[in-house]
Structure 1
Amino acid sequence: MHSSIEQFSAAIRSAGLCPPETIEPGRWHRFPGSQKGARNRAGWCYLFDDLKGGFFGDHSIASNHHWKSTEGKHLSDADWERYRQRINAMKAQRDAEQAQRQQQARQTAAALWQAAAPAMQHEYLARKGIQPHGARCDGQRLVIPLRDVDGTLHSLQTIALDGDKRFMPGGRVAGCYHSMGKPQGVLVVCEGFATGASIHEATGHAVAVAFNAGNLLPVAQALHGKYPALRIIVAADDDWHTDGNPGLTKASEAAQAVGGDLSKPDFGDNRPEKATDFNDLHQLLGLDAVKACIDGAVTASTDSGWPDPVPLPSGLPPVAPFDAELLPEALRGWVADIADRMQCPPDFTAVGALVALSSLIGARAVVKPKARDDWAVPPNLWGAIVGRPGVMKSPALSEVLKPLQRLEKTEREHWQAAHEAWQLDCKVAELAAKANEKQAAAQVAKDPARARALLQPVDNMTPEPTMRRYVVNDATVEKLAELLTVNPWGTLVYRDEIHGLLCSMDKQGQEGARGFYLTGYDGNQGHAVDRIGRGESFVPRVCLAMLGGIQPGKVQSYVRDAVAGGAGDDGLLQRFGLTVWPDVNREFVYVDRWPDTPAKQAAWAVFERLNQLQPATDSDAQEWRFTPDAQALFEEWLIPFETELRGEELHPALVSHLAKYRKLVPALALIFALVDTPESEHLIHERELIRALAWADYLRTHAERLYAAAVMPETSAAKQLLDKIKAGKLADSDGVLLDAFAPRQVAVKHWAGLGTPDAVRKAADLLADYGWLEREATTSGAKGGRPGERYILHPALVKGGV
């Protein structure tokens, strides 16, 4: 399945719907609505044939959602406008078609309702023990009307002898209900017809039957709008064996939305497995039990005084999968071929290739992202790949660095020959100087001027050849500075395991080294070092690209220190904008084939070409700018991006990381332009910027995983404890459920991961942080002893409402 289709299906599932197994772009699809049977067709979706967007919804609860793909690339301005036009046009078409269907349904419902006879007896009514309450019969089917607050009939629900319930095709459900009785200060909203009948017969209160949990909120809001002075009680179905308890959840939402009260059936200790609603309670314990529950309804928003608990974090956040379209075509096949033969994530090879290319460009070319500003961005990038040992991090990076290694080998051979020739020239000059010295000695008495001329040093000596360094593996900062004086346009620092380099710069006395690397990220700043006894050392331009691998545990530890204000809290880590932490496929495929030679040749040709890139002058870089269309797109991205960074929603460490995208995005766009359109007269087009923005979207998901790993607590024991509490396992020796506990009371149960009071205490403290428990200190008893603590359960846990 195409990844865009997978994303679309995932979005539908996240909305509580079950998408069809097959989604064909450009076609409407119908499927069961929320909490509906397999034959229901209230759910709908439409995916655009270009896979860039779509929408979906559920007619039964009047929901609709827009979706746009994160795959491949951002939409351009023109694409966005076409996208919006298509959405509006298709929405208008859908609304018109839905209005027509609903109009037809109203006409059909009116005719069927008119022809139906008042219900006197029906097997369903007898089985449920209820009266008809305005229902009619159409043959053997019980017919119930759905009306809005103005009394307009919109649709019908039919109930067969076996209890099978059907709505009229195309009829409106959202906000419609069936009423029983007239309001006298109180109005009860519930789900099903039988439930409403039992409540009305038990209490005499007016009842509005909403027909399903998703319709409770629209009905309650509509009735509250018409009768603002009425007390509204929302009577919940207690779906205690269904994940998330949708009946109680939706009823709570409806009651809170209208400032109403909430009631749910109380079946006592001997509750049957399938007992969930007030009609079940009516048949089991009688109408008095129903009345007692309705009379005991409590205000939904103030029944406990506790805030709603926050779900525990469920592992690392997901990351976007790598899409080959993120790479220029010349690199695509080579990167994919390496990843396939090594069975490693393509993210590893892609990041390595881009960082390697950025080191070739260095500071020789810069992009000026603003049209009338001198802000210049060198495209030297820092990348890190995160993966546990054994997932082919080092072999993947070694493979993509082979073009640089070949360039360095060739450069070393040329330098070696030039250096040997230079040494010979030096010896020849030395011999010539000695010969001149002898001649000067012979001429000194006869012709002092001639002797003086012979002793003049030769000024046409060739300077010592320098060698361009492409990769530096393990050098001190002093040696690196020395190398940069003869490599003023930059080089690549590669460390197989970059954690060692990061930690070495955290040590006391390494502040200068850290500052040097921070300057190296900027790519266009000089760096001076003054030492007593050694004078001044100045590097006019420090430009470093950096690449390496790191293990998850080590990066988590390092990030925690940076987030907590440790030695790493100066933005060094955040400069690794090309950091990826992909999911590793657990299924290994044995691959034994020759490399893709054409793909390799195409990629290596890019390296060869960029190796010949020259600056504008000996001291000035080439200057690249955006075309007008690309400039407009950059501004469209930058303004909301900067607004988000200035908000309070993101973690400060993540903000610091994302802030480096100000350089990352234009730098990537420049690299793509130099790869794809080197003869474009120093102009970066919209296509290259779109690809860079797609990289930013992709990399952001990896950044969110990186920083979530540092701030996310260990939750396994807390989840275990919470699951036990929810399952009703927290009980005393007599089987009575506890509403509070001390750590030792749980430890004696020897649940996995909770076998000691200290382990229970840590888990309970975490649950308290997320609002599931409240920690209470206990004082020592009359006989002394140390004070302790106990943990009070959230009322929703005690009542089974969560």
Structure 2
Amino acid sequence: MQSFDPELLPSNLRGWVVDIAHRMQCPPDFAAVGAVIAASSLIGARAVVQPKEFDDWQVVPNLWGLIVGRPGVMKSPALGEALKPLFHLQLAEFELHEAAHEAWTLDSKVAELASAEREKKAKGLASKDPAAARSLLIPEVVAAEPIARRFTVNDATVEKLGELLNANPWGILSYRDELYGLLTSMDKQGQEGARSFYLQSYDGNQSYTFDRIGRGTVHIPRICLSMIGGIQPGRVQEYVRGAVAGGSADDGLLQRFGLTVWPDTAGAFVHVDQWPDTAAKAHAWEAFKRLADLQPASDTEPQVWRFDPKAQALYVEWSTHLGQELKLGELHPAMEGHLSKYRKLIPALALIFALLENPDTQLIKEGDLLRALAWCDYLRSHAERLYSAATTPETGAAAGLLRKIKAGALIDSFTPREVAVKGWTGMPTPEAVRKAADLLCDFDWLRRDVIQGGAAGGRPSERYRINPSAKGRAIRAGLPD
């Protein structure tokens, strides 16, 4: 699994993200993914990339990210820091909207009084001069009620989210500190409509129509949603196993989280107490403000960006290689589905990087695409770790079993059945425990003893002995933390 290289980020975000990670003593992956998702949400559907030279297929750069980490590894604080520019933009927007709405309320009241006065005059003229009375009753044009632009939303029903997207057709970021609740809620019976809504919102350029008794019909011309949140390893492993086992969850929802990172968090902790790098922060926030001010080509059409000749040739080479790999059928179906979403992810990342570094050209350069392809390799390694919960479940179970051993939760010489009854994550059956324990035997953490039946016969039994040096020893390579 690849560690995060700060060079993956454009120069105007790099120093800021590195500073956040250093001060919080957490992997830079957390803040980096948060920053890229924040940028993608600000662009939304205002700009799109047309990856092919002649085909009119367009990619909207709204992306979804998932931060995987145990409690206490600072994933939420790092993510919150990366999203702060959006929170500040939202606060400023609410303040402007409050003033504008107060003015609109006063103007509406004045218009209402004027209308009442004209109606009074019209009554007096109705019998004498009907034409004049009719002209007095023509309503004056009143400005529409001002609507605040929404940058983020935290917890909203699908119906309310639809209303917000109807008022903000260029896109919104959905931020959930813990995404597990949202993911599992959409697996429940009766939530098929919500699941369909989220699936469609990932495209960023599709319409959606609600038909509800009481609410009537609500048509949304464009639903464009970016998404980011955190999740704990045990919960994501549980969800992955369910998502790839078939059924309603096996519909590509999980695979849409292209910016999923699950970094290692082991290593020495260093106490850091220093001022933030204000220059790096200002540089990054200026870039976010510029993206927030990005204007589409018209009220209904986005800017259309294309690859320059060198980037176009590179894209064709990469796209051809990806298509060939997917057609071979050698990948696990879950991983195959995940990589198929890179057809959107990579052009979208290239567009985001181009808008951050060369915002006025409407051309994506070779360097922008090379950076996106470097992200492709990095993210793929994390996706392989994510889906290993389903493709090689014994690896995650072995790591969990080892943690229990190190914590003293298991006595020496145990049987798989004794562990299975404890209900630990990833080890629901004796067979699952046996596979995990056998893997630990390969790494010399355990020794498997087969005890033959007694003089009266009987089936042999198996017990696992703990290596005395296991407790307190670091987890060896090959077993994820």
For Structure 1 versus Structure 2, the TM-score category normalised by the shorter chain is 0.7 to 0.9
Give 1:360's match in structure 2, choosing from 42, 49, 59: 42
The residue that corresponds to 1:762 in the other structure is 431
Q: Conserved in 1, the CA contact under 8 Å of 2:307 and 2:365? A: yes
Q: C-alpha deviations, 1:721-746, integer Å up to 9, x for none?
A: xxxxxxxxxxxxxxxxxxxxxxxxxx
Cα distance in 1 for partners of 2:398, 2:41 equals 46
Residue correspondence of structure 1 range 136-535 to structure 2 within 5 A = 319-458=1-140, 460-535=141-216
CA-CA distance at 1:566 after TM superposition: 4.0
Displacement of 1:754: 2.8
User: Which residues in structure 2 correspond to 1:741-752 (within 5 Å)?
Assistant: 752=413
Stretch moving more, 709-718 or 607-616:
709-718
Query: Matched residues in 2 for 1:717 and 1:483: separation?
Result: 42
Shift, 1:606, TM fit: 0.4
From the superposition, tell whether residues 687 and 764 of structure 1 become closer, same or farther in structure 2 (CA, over 3 Å): closer
**Alignment partner of 1:691 is 2:371:** yes
2:380 to 700, 704, 718: 700
| Matched residue SS, 1:605 | helix
Residues 676 and 375 of structure 1, relative CA distance in 2, 3 Å threshold: same
**Does the 8 Å contact 2:244/2:250 carry over to 1?**
yes
1:702-755 deviation per Cα after TM superposition (whole angstroms, max 9, x unaligned): 000000023323469999xxxxxxxxxxxxxxxxxxxxxxxxxxxxxx953337
1:625 and 2:306 are equivalent in the alignment: yes
Pair member with larger Rg:
1
TM-score (norm 2): 0.84
Q: How many Å separate the matches in 1 of 2:397 and 2:128?
A: 101
User: Structure 1 residues 669, 644: closer, same or farther in 2, change over 3 A?
Assistant: same
2:221 aligned counterpart, secondary structure: strand
User: Out of 345, 349, 371, which is 1:668 matched to?
Assistant: 349
1:444 CA displacement: 2.5
> What CA distance in whole angstroms lies between the structure 2 residues aligned with 1:584 and 1:385?
12
Question: What secondary structure does 1:646 align onto?
Answer: helix
Structure 2 unaligned runs (5+)?
A: 400-410, 421-428, 442-455, 463-481
Shift, 1:573, TM fit? 0.7
Cα offset for 1:441?
Answer: 2.2
Q: Report the CA distance between 1:766 and its aligned residue.
A: 3.6
Deviation at 1:449, TM superposition (A): 2.0
CA distance in 2, matches of 1:534, 1:755: 55
Residues in 2 aligned to 1:478 and 1:584: alpha-carbon distance in whole angstroms: 38
Offset, 1:386: 0.2
Say if 1:403 and 1:764 are closer, same or farther in 2 by CA, change over 3 A: closer
Structure 1 residue 451: Cα displacement: 1.8
Contact 1:526–1:542 (8 Å) recurs in 2: yes
TM-aligned CA deviation for residue 651 of structure 1: 0.7
- Alpha carbons of 1:327 and 1:562: their partners in 2 closer, same or farther (altered >3 Å)? same
Question: Would the aligned equivalents of 2:416 and 2:433 in 1 still touch at CA under 8 Å?
Answer: no
Amino acid at match of 2:232: Q
Give the number of aligned pairs. 428
Matched AA of 1:663: K
Shift of 1:450: 1.7
What is the TM-score when the length of structure 1 is the normalising length? 0.51
Q: Is the 8 A contact 2:76 2:177 kept in 1?
A: yes
Aligned with residue 657 of structure 1, among 323, 334, 338: 338
Moved over 4 A (4+): 715-719, 755-761, 767-770, 787-791
Distance 1:377 1:645 in 2: 20
Change (3 A) 1:707 1:515: same
TM superposition shift of 1:486: 1.1
Structure 1 residues 621, 639: closer, same or farther in 2, change over 3 A?
same
Q: 1:756 to 1:398 in 2, by over 3 A?
A: closer
Indicate the SS of the match to 2:300.
coil
Q: Aligned letter for 1:467?
A: A
Q: 2:230 aligns with which of 549, 553, 559?
A: 549
CA contact (8 A) 1:579 1:703 kept: yes
CA contact (8 A) 2:209 2:217 kept: yes
Give the match's secondary structure for 1:696. helix
Question: For 2:51 and 2:290, how far apart are their aligned partners in 1?
Answer: 24
Q: Which amino acid aligns with 2:37?
A: V
List per-residue Cα deviations over 1:4-62 (Å, max 9, x = no partner): xxxxxxxxxxxxxxxxxxxxxxxxxxxxxxxxxxxxxxxxxxxxxxxxxxxxxxxxxxx
Q: Decide whether the 8 Å contact of 2:389 with 2:395 is kept in 1.
A: no
Which sections of structure 1, spanning at least 5 residues, go unmatched?
1-318, 720-749, 773-782, 792-802
Asked if 1 retains the 8 angstrom alpha-carbon contact of 2:41 and 2:226, the reply is yes
Percent same amino acid at aligned positions? 63
Q: Per the alignment, in what secondary structure is the counterpart of residue 328 of structure 2?
A: coil
Aligned partner of 1:56 in structure 2 is none
Give the Cα–Cα distance (whole angstroms) in 1 for the partners of residues 294 and 396 of structure 2: 54
Deviation at 1:762, TM superposition (A): 2.9
Q: Residues 177 and 229 of structure 2 are in contact (CA less than 8 Å); yes or no, is this contact kept in structure 1? A: yes
Given the alignment of the two structures, is residue 647 of structure 1 paired with residue 328 of structure 2, yes or no?
A: yes
- Say if 2:147 and 2:167, in contact at 8 Å, map to a contact too: yes
In 1, the alpha carbon distance for the partners of 2:419 and 2:206 equals 53
Contact 2:169-2:223 at 8 Å conserved across structures? yes
Q: What is the alpha-carbon distance in structure 2 between the residues aligned to residue 396 and residue 716 of structure 1?
A: 25
Decide whether the 8 Å contact of 1:717 with 1:754 is kept in 2. no
Shift in CA distance, 397/441, structure 1 to aligned 2, threshold 3 Å: same
> Structure 1 residue 531: deviation in Å?
2.2
Helix, strand or coil at the partner of 2:222: strand
Give the superposition deviation at 1:586.
3.2
Kindly provide the amino acid, as one letter, of the partner of residue 545 in structure 1: S
**Which whole-Å CA distance do the structure 1 matches of 2:397 and 2:12 have between them?**
49
Residue-by-residue CA offset, 1:296-349 (whole Å, 9 max, x unaligned) = xxxxxxxxxxxxxxxxxxxxxxx1010000000000000010111111110000
Instruction: Output one character per residue of 1:240-274: Cα deviation in whole Å (capped at 9) or x when no partner.
Output: xxxxxxxxxxxxxxxxxxxxxxxxxxxxxxxxxxx
Aligned to 2:408: none
Evaluate the alpha carbon distance shift between residue 789 and residue 568 of structure 1 in structure 2; reply closer, same or farther with a 3 A threshold: farther
> CA separation in 1, counterparts of 2:174 and 2:396?
39
**Deviation at residue 562 of structure 1 after TM alignment:** 0.5
Distance in 1 (CA, whole Å) between partners of 2:313 and 2:69 is 38
Give the number of the structure with larger relative contact order, counting CA–CA contacts within 8 Å between residues 6 or more apart.
2
Report if aligned partners of 2:389, 2:396 keep a CA contact under 8 Å in 1: no
Quick one: which of 228, 245, 270 aligns to 1:564?
245
Instruction: Kindly indicate whether the alpha-carbon contact (under 8 Å) linking 1:561 and 1:567 is maintained by their aligned counterparts in 2.
Output: no
